[in-house]
Structure 1
Amino acid sequence: MRRIGFYPGSFDPLTNGHVDVVEAASALCDTLVVGIGVHHGKTPMFSAEIRAALIEGEFGPRLEARGCHLRVTTFDTLAVNAAAACGAGVMIRGLRDGTDLDYELQLAGMNAAMAPAIQTVLLPPTSLSRHITASLVRQIALLGGDVTPFVPPLVAVALAEAIRAKALA
């Protein structure tokens, strides 16, 4: 039986913390589905298509080489419903600190009540990226700061291009 994991998030932008969680999750699954949450009330920095391309560019070949197939999808429903729709038995969640733990345990309990067949697995990023959040990376980028320590190189280039395009508009 194939083990399918579902890792939901906004990934706006993809950070080194996300990279750590995907790397760890790929050891637990035969297929890892990265689900990009699309919320019509929010205006992301990157379109869902660009986020998907960055995720595929960062992970596709590397995960395949390790025997974990990567799929990237979008969803605009409850993450647990999106996980069930893609056949996942495991919901992957990143866990940065104790504040995250309280929220994630509540969320895991609610998800278990709605979809008992889906087990939540909490994965911490490494200590080198535990402090990174996508919202802080966006703020640093928008204010002209150097985001290269916080994001993969593909993402750093995409952020610089997005900021440049925004400045020209």
Structure 2
Amino acid sequence: MKIGVYPGSFDPVTNGHLDIIERASKLFDKLIVGVGVNNNKKSLFSVEKRLEFIEVSCKGIPNVEVHSFSGLLIEFMKEKDAKTIVKGLRAISDFEYEFQMALMNRKLNPEIETIFMMTSSKYSYLSSSLIKEVAKFGGCVRGLIPEVVEKELHKKL
């Protein structure tokens, strides 16, 4: 079984993330969306809420599972018997950081491959940070994030 992992903080999940999830799900028998827990970072939404947002948003994609993890991604991959990391890229600046991470992951486990997927051009400017900032100042984020996230984001901010 070919298992891929799409890791991220997803705080919150955007339509750009969902675009990558939908497209990557076609490449694997199972795609695991790994919601990373970093206790050193202050997240807007709890990990449980982020898992819920992704589960609700991906309910129509049968081969997608959503799990949280902390620690090294490589350990999570081993636990899930996955061999491929999926990373979405918006711009060249994303590539520099993600390339370094891919090389480090390869050093930690030479059996792990990383594939890079370009985000659809209509979402290339989107980031969770930008969504939170626009929403915080009352800007419209409709069509950029799933409806379930939009409702909770307005309540939270």
Name the counterpart of 1:167: none
For residues 82-127 of structure 1, the C-alpha deviation after alignment (integer angstroms, 9 at most, x for no partner) is 1222111110111111111122112111111111111101111100
Q: Would you say the 8 A contact 1:20–1:126 is kept in 2?
A: yes
Name the counterpart of 2:18: 19
CA distance in 2, matches of 1:32, 1:119: 14
Name the counterpart of 1:86: 80
Identity %: 37
Name the counterpart of 1:155: 149
Number of equivalent positions: 157
Task: Report the aligned-residue RMSD.
Answer: 1.1
CA distance in 2, matches of 1:95, 1:85: 26
Report the secondary structure of 2:139's partner residue: coil
Amino acid at match of 2:61: L
User: What is the CA distance between 1:11 and its match in structure 2?
Assistant: 0.3
User: What is the CA distance between 1:30 and its match in structure 2?
Assistant: 1.1
- Does 1:63 pair with 2:57? no
CA distance in 1, matches of 2:125, 2:10: 15
Structure 1: gaps spanning 5 or more residues: 164-169
Structure 2: gaps spanning 5 or more residues: none
User: What is the CA distance between 1:80 and its match in structure 2?
Assistant: 2.2
CA distance in 1, matches of 2:38, 2:143: 28
CA distance in 1, matches of 2:73, 2:91: 21
Residue pairs, 1:13-162, within 5 angstroms: 13-60=12-59, 62-64=60-62, 69-162=63-156
Amino acid at match of 1:162: K
